[in-house]
Amino acid sequence: MKVTVVGAGNVGATCADILAYREIANEVILIDIKEGVAEGKALDIWQKAPIDLYDTRTVGVTGDYSKTAGSSVVVITSGLPRKPGMTRDDLIETNAGIVKSVTEQVVAQSPDAIIIIVSNPLDVMTYQAHISSKFPRTRVMGMAGILDTARYRAFLAEELNVSPKDIQAVLMGGHGDTMVPLPRYTTVAGIPVTELIDADKLDAIIERTKFGGGELVKLMGTSAWYAPGSAAAQMVEAIVRDQKRVFPVCIKLEGEYGISDCYLGVPVVLGKNGVEKVIELKLTEEEMVSLRTSRDHVIEVMNVLDKLSQ
């Protein structure tokens, strides 16, 4: 069992480390375009195997996709962060080119792989990878919902002074400030969260969740990596071990929730075949309005990519 992580930056290296530590695959290939970076980080991860007691072999390579051949799952974290003076369109154009190139090289070596996108802007990069791979939608997905839900649950655990292990939540929509947390489906050990917290405090936590990534950028001057890397690794584990986990995942919708041809986060069953089922919740009209607003925002960004591709 081989898993490839494309991009040996903070997110990719964190993901590879967790995959190795949890022995999710026999071999983890870490690949990057910068000479020596993937090799060094993979070697560092391998050298702590005797300390943390795992057998997964980590191998780093620079630009040689032949080493990734036969991967069951490929996690793509490649791309640039948005820099001062760079417009959203600039970021989309740059990262779409990177994701397109990476996806084509991945597919050539691992035609049966399942692809997980972590690159930003997440929803439109999932779109780019899907059209570049020509894979069924069930085998190309974006990681954002798990991360956003984790932030939401962490903030709730802090406010309620309870274990984050006991909090379950559902979050839908695009990755960003139009995401749609669903308090109606949020529970603490089965107890509806609305019975444990005042509405104004819950609303404040929801707002903090929507801008969770931006909060970290302000604090550190760069984007997060521990939680995103962990979230991607959790998706890989669900697939490799055929766990049938229910996660919010970005996927192309084909009529679910009355939405078609748009890449949005929705709850799915994740197993050895990738997305094995899209779960359709019975949303209220207010929740549907929020989801449609999120859809409109994502389609707007998809349209930018379409125009750039012409």
Summarize the confidence of residues 143-163 as an average pLDDT: 97
Beta-bridge partner residues of 36: none
Q: How high is the mean pLDDT of the chain? A: 95
User: Mind listing the pLDDT tens digit for each residue in 44-56?
Assistant: 999 999 999 999 9
Residue 6 to residue 129: CA distance in whole angstroms:
13
Which pLDDT score is estimated for 84? Answer: 65
Is pLDDT above 90 for 241? yes
- Percentage with pLDDT > 90 across the chain: 90
Active site residue 297: no
Which pLDDT score is estimated for 201? Answer: 98
User: Mind listing the pLDDT tens digit for each residue in 173-182?
Assistant: 999 889 999 9
Which pLDDT score is estimated for 81? Answer: 76
Burial 1-27 (b: 16+ CB within 10 A, else e): ebbbbbbbbbbbbbbbbbbbbbebbeb
User: Mind listing the pLDDT tens digit for each residue in 261-281?
Assistant: 999 999 999 999 999 999 999
- Pick the catalytic residue from 2, 175, 252, 295: 175
Q: How confident is the model at residue 83 (pLDDT cuts 50, 70, 90)?
A: low
